[in-house]
């Protein structure tokens, strides 16, 4: 089975509902800690400047922001969320773990990130499935060393440019799920499925729909 993972769909309630209507397996959201609050959003803060930004997009910093607890409480489908914990701070993972525990959200969640100590800080919870992410060749080399030594995570999320059949085969020997991104057209989908990945992360509904169709 190949997981259809809706990239960033959990960054808004409308996106979460749309992804659930599509029937995806996993909904991903970006989790930021800001002034002690866990927020889900793709846009980044700009220090003391009064806006959030990303690639030319600007939004007032005073605009309402969706909280992680609010997102989880709004879920009516038993969604499997993938929490992409942002920032090179171990305490970010601790904050998420504390919120899940104290907030009573004890259903399975995937915890993903490029700062692995933050993900490790969540791994003690029995309902958290840790996923280590690698974006570049340096991170990929570190990932191979980490998997060779252990402890082994539930899965990995690796940029598609870093994968070939041998790499995917080796990863499957060490983890349960090998995910990749970005998979936003059908040619790339065919390529990564041929490599043997078992999780497809996409922004595009039509790609996710094809993943679901092929899994049936």
The number of folded domains in the chain is: 1
Tell me the residue range of the domain where 103 lies: 3-215
The predicted model gives 165-176 an average pLDDT of: 98
Q: At a CB cut-off of 8 Å and minimum separation 6, what does 94 contact?
A: 118, 121, 122
This prediction has a pTM of 0.92
- Looking at the chain, list the stretches that DSSP marks H as alpha helix, in order from N- to C-terminal side: 13-22, 68-74, 90-103, 116-120, 137-149, 165-172, 186-195, 205-215
Which residues contact residue 21 at a Cβ distance below 8 angstroms, ignoring those fewer than 6 apart? none
- CATH number for the domain harbouring residue 89: 3.20.20.190
- Residue 58 tokens read as 């600007």
Q: Which pLDDT tens digit goes with each residue over 52-63? A: 445 555 555 445
pLDDT-derived band at 72, boundaries 50, 70, 90: very high
118/12 Cα distance (integer angstroms): 23
HEC per residue, 114-140: CCHHHHHCCCCCCCEEEEEEECCHHHH
pLDDT tens for residues 127-163? Answer: 999 999 999 999 999 999 999 998 899 999 999 999 9
Query: Which of 106, 132, 104 has the alpha carbon at shortest distance from 118?
Result: 132
Retrieve residue 43's tokens. Answer: 């846009």
- Residue 197 φ then ψ, to 5°: -65, 155
């Amino acid at each position: 089975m190949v997981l259809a993972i809706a990239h960033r769909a959990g960054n808004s309630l409308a996106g979460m509902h749309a992804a659930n209507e599509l029937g995806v397996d996993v909904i991903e959201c970006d989790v930021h800690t800001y002034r002690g609050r866990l927020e889900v959003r793709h846009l980044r803060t700009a220090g003391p400047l009064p806006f959030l930004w990303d690639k030319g997009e600007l939004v007032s910093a005073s605009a309402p922001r969706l909280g992680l607890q609010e997102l989880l409480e709004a879920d009516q489908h038993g969604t499997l969320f993938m929490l992409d914990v942002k920032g090179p701070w171990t305490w970010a993972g601790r904050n998420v773990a504390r919120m899940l525990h104290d907030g009573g959200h004890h259903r399975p969640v995937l915890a993903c990130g490029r700062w692995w100590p933050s993900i490790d800080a969540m791994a003690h919870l029995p309902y958290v499935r840790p996923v280590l992410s690698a974006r570049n060749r340096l991170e990929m080399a570190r990932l191979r060393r980490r998997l060779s030594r252990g402890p082994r995570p539930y899965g990995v999320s690796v940029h598609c440019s870093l994968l070939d059949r041998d790499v995917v085969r080796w990863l499957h020997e060490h983890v349960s799920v090998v995910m990749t991104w970005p998979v936003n057209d059908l040619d790339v989908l065919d390529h990564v499925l041929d490599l043997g990945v078992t999780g497809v992360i996409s922004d595009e509904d039509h790609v996710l729909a094809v993943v679901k169709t092929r899994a049936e």
